[in-house]
Amino acid sequence: MKNLMQLLRHYMAILGLVIIAAGALTACKSVTSNDTVDYKATGAVRGPNLSYPPDLITAQADRRYIVQDGTATMSEYNAAMKKSVQMRNSVMTGIPGMRIARDGERRWLVVEKPATELYPQVKDFWQENGFLLVVDSPSTGIMETDWAENRGKIAQDWIRSTIGGALDSIYDTGERDKYKTRLEAPKPDETEIYITQKGALEKCVTDATSQCISTIWTSRPNDPELEAVFLARLMERLGMTQEQAKAMVAAPLGPKTPKAKLVQEANNQTYILLSAGFDRSWRDVGLALDRSNFTVEDRNRSAGVYYVRYVNTKEVGDAKGFFSNLFSSKDDALLKAKKYQVVVKSTGENSANVYVQDADGKPENTPSGVQLLTLLNDQLAK
């Protein structure tokens, strides 16, 4: 009997190994869709995963369950319950004066608070979501994350949940994303927060026999839905409920209206004609810069000037060579970038022109200047 039991244990162990191996093969072949967004950047510093506003301490909300020294009166109990209800209601309503603004497919967050107060909270928000910041400029209100992989696209099967840490280096989506955030202050106590996403995709380089011999990183189209996801998450981080934030972001977008036209005059002067006033034109140009290969180093809204750097792929090599170095250091990229001034000039209540100037503020009436305006025009026309 003893030998029989040992034999049964032996076969059960073998059967268990077979099941695990089969499960592993199945997991490698099937990746189910996952709506979650969970980014992971190498060396990222994560903060606490907050489900409550930072000014709400959960322990205080449940103080009615703590036994106090002495005798509690009914009036004290009612006052404590009233305070608890008020705290819950404050969480449900979120920050007063926080809303999603939209223009066509563009969304941004408007908060009735000073930018100086919001900037540290937005910075913490990105770090809590698993991102490293490669640009952190409170003076200009601009921050930019490093490239990161969305681990939420990887199937979370039972094998990964058991030994997932050891398999992280094996699973890879072949996609990377980075996000730019820009805070604008059109009024002293009002801040506009813009989030723009940029994506990269790993592709195979094949030989004559269609065999993959190497991989390169290429540009991936902008994804407005990912931007919307993080706008909703930021609203939660600032005190709004998840249901309210999702409802605001999911509201129907406005119609597309053509509002940008590239104009080339006989004197070789080229500019973009916008059918909008200065405020709207300034906002749209800023978003177009964020979604292109421009790095905004500074800006002067009163003068209508964005001070930028731009990497011209035609001057540093072909697109494949450029995108293969997407994950090189930012300092290396800036060495290849030239300085320009992008000027937004009001020409009427509902019109404005956009010009490109060199670093000294002189007209850039060169092929490079036309190329930059063409790129901006393509973004503005979307």
- What is the structure's pLDDT at 255? 65
Residue 340 has pLDDT above 80, yes or no: yes
For residues 106 and 246, membership in a common domain is answered with yes
What is the distance between the alpha carbons of residues 214 and 324, in angstroms, rounded to a whole number?
Answer: 11
- What is the structure's pLDDT at 76? 52
Final residue of a domain: which of 219, 254, 289?
254
For residues 200 and 277, membership in a common domain is answered with no
For residues 299 and 162, membership in a common domain is answered with no
CA dihedral over 241, 243, 246, 252, signed as positive or negative: negative
Is residue 150 a part of any domain in this protein? yes
Which 3 state secondary structure label does DSSP give 33? Answer: coil
What is the distance between the alpha carbons of residues 192 and 103, in angstroms, rounded to a whole number?
Answer: 13
Is residue 14 a part of any domain in this protein? no
What is the distance between the alpha carbons of residues 324 and 219, in angstroms, rounded to a whole number?
Answer: 10
pLDDT bin (cut points 50, 70, 90) of residue 221 is: confident
Q: CATH number for the domain including 371?
A: 3.30.310.170
Let me know the angle formed at the C-alpha of 123 by 117 and 129, rounded to the nearest 5 degrees. 135
Classify residue 75 as exposed, middle or buried by CB count within 10 Å of its CB (0-12, 13-18, 19+). exposed
Is residue 29 a part of any domain in this protein? no
Domain of 335?
257-382
- What is the structure's pLDDT at 382? 76
Q: Are 272 and 261 in contact (CB under 8 A)?
A: yes
What is the distance between the alpha carbons of residues 100 and 250, in angstroms, rounded to a whole number?
Answer: 10
For residues 172 and 73, membership in a common domain is answered with yes
Final residue of a domain: which of 208, 223, 254?
254
- What is the structure's pLDDT at 222? 86
Final residue of a domain: which of 254, 271, 301?
254
Span 80-101, average pLDDT: 57
pLDDT bin (cut points 50, 70, 90) of residue 22 is: very low
For residues 246 and 274, membership in a common domain is answered with no
Q: CATH number for the domain including 223?
A: 3.30.530.50
Number of domains the chain contains = 2
The tens digit of pLDDT for each residue in 240-275 reads 999 999 999 888 766 666 689 999 887 778 999 999
- What is the structure's pLDDT at 312? 65
- What is the structure's pLDDT at 337? 77
Q: What is the mean pLDDT of the chain?
A: 74
